[in-house]
């Protein structure tokens, strides 16, 4: 096992500074200002992709708690650990002294050593529930980083976390069986990472704006990148308006999220491709900021499930209204 990435403490400190300043107090989904929420996340990623990844998880956790009628712990940086790895689900069992005791390892735990608490999906008596787990007692010995060998986003300290023996109170349960997965907010929240992908790509467009000269083909690639940037912003704004119009419609939320994630994934990839075609290899080998951003975006975009999501979208009922079908 290895220790955290040398830049992890900087990334954590920058995210905490945003939290303390109120910059992460974003509009709640479905209350009339959701487009501003997505724009704020994109702006964070345009500045720093790793900070945005941690911030997006925090604001998603706050949103989830709000939907459950719970207040987020004040001043605490939160994560959302909902991925399932090869070890299977983390399990929660009643403890003889009260509360629940956890058993198992949680994969892809973002901010493993950086967040104060995490919303963790667990199995309890055959049900799928969400727990708010304080991480004060989860020390370095419980973190396994061997599965994250790429330097891309390594400063967000994603690890496999051993939660065996960790105890939580009965009140740590957030929602009932499958509440986390079945609520419309699951799909509203799925747009948040896409906003970060868009912001990360906008940072590459910013670089191109200052690096492209008068060569006609390079200018054409820059024009295409500007068009992709416009398209991503338009898709996110439209998605935000759709959330606000029908916040409780889970079917529409799912179709919307799958469509927007595909559109942003494709547009961000086009920006990455055209940056290289416009400027050649130089920024991808000689500019540390571009190298890190390009690599981070490539990894981050793979939260989109590509053709699997497109199949799901194709099998869903035909979208209507804000998704571009017949109303």
pLDDT of residue 88: 84
305 to 30, 107, 110, 190, 318: CA distances (angstroms):
25, 17, 18, 12, 20
pLDDT of residue 327: 39
**Sheet-wide strand order for 159-162:** 105-109, 159-162, 143-144
Domain residue spans of the chain: 8-180, 183-323
pLDDT of residue 318: 80
Pick the CATH number of 8-180 from 3.30.70.20, 2.60.40.2580, 2.40.110.10, 3.30.70.1560: 2.40.110.10
pLDDT of residue 326: 42
Hey, what are 102's tokens? 């956890």
The kind and range of the H/E element at 274 are helix 250-279
Hey, what are 200's tokens? 């990360």
Distance CA 100, CA 138 (A): 16
DSSP state of 105: E
Q: What number does CATH give the domain 183-323? A: 1.20.140.10
Mean pLDDT of successive 10-residue stretches along the chain, which has 327 residues? 87 98 98 98 98 98 97 97 90 94 97 98 95 94 96 97 95 95 96 98 98 96 98 98 96 96 98 97 97 98 95 86 50
pLDDT of residue 319: 66
pLDDT of residue 221: 98
Nearest to 63 by CA among 94, 25, 89: 25
Q: What is the DSSP string of 283-323?
A: HHHH-HHHHHHHHHHHHHGGGS-THHHHHHHHHSPPP-GGG
Hey, what are 64's tokens? 């989830």
């Amino acid at each position: 096992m290895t220790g955290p990435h040398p830049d992890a403490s900087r990334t954590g400190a920058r995210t905490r500074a945003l939290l303390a300043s109120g910059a992460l107090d974003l509009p709640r989904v479905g209350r009339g200002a959701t487009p501003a929420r997505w724009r704020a996340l994109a702006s964070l990623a345009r500045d720093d992709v790793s900070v945005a990844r941690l911030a997006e998880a925090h604001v998603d956790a706050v949103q989830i708690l709000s939907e459950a009628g719970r207040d987020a712990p004040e001043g605490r940086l939160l994560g959302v650990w909902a991925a399932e790895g090869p070890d299977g689900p983390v399990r929660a069992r009643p403890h003889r002294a009260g509360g629940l005791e956890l058993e198992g390892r949680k994969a892809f735990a973002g901010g493993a050593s950086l967040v104060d608490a995490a919303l963790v999906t667990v199995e309890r008596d055959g049900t799928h529930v969400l727990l708010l787990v304080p991480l004060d007692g989860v020390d370095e010995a419980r973190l396994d980083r061997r599965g994250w060998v790429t330097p891309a986003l390594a400063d967000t300290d994603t690890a496999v976390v051993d939660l065996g023996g960790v105890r939580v109170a009965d009140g740590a349960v957030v929602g009932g069986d499958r509440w986390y997965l079945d609520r419309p907010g699951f799909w509203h929240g799925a747009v948040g990472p896409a906003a970060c992908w868009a912001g990360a790509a906008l940072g590459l467009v910013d670089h191109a704006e200052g690096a492209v000269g008068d060569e006609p083909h390079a200018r054409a690639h820059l024009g295409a990148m500007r068009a992709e940037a416009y398209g991503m912003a338009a898709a996110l704004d439209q998605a935000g308006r759709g959330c606000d119009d029908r916040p409780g419609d889970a079917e529409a939320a799912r179709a919307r999220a799958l469509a927007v994630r595909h559109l942003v994934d494709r547009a961000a990839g086009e920006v990455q491709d055209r940056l290289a075609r416009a400027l050649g290899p130089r920024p991808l080998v000689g500019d540390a900021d571009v190298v890190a951003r390009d690599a981070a975006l490539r990894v981050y975009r793979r939260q989109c499930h590509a053709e699997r999501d497109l199949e799901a979208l194709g099998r869903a009922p035909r979208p209507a209204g804000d998704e571009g079908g017949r109303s």
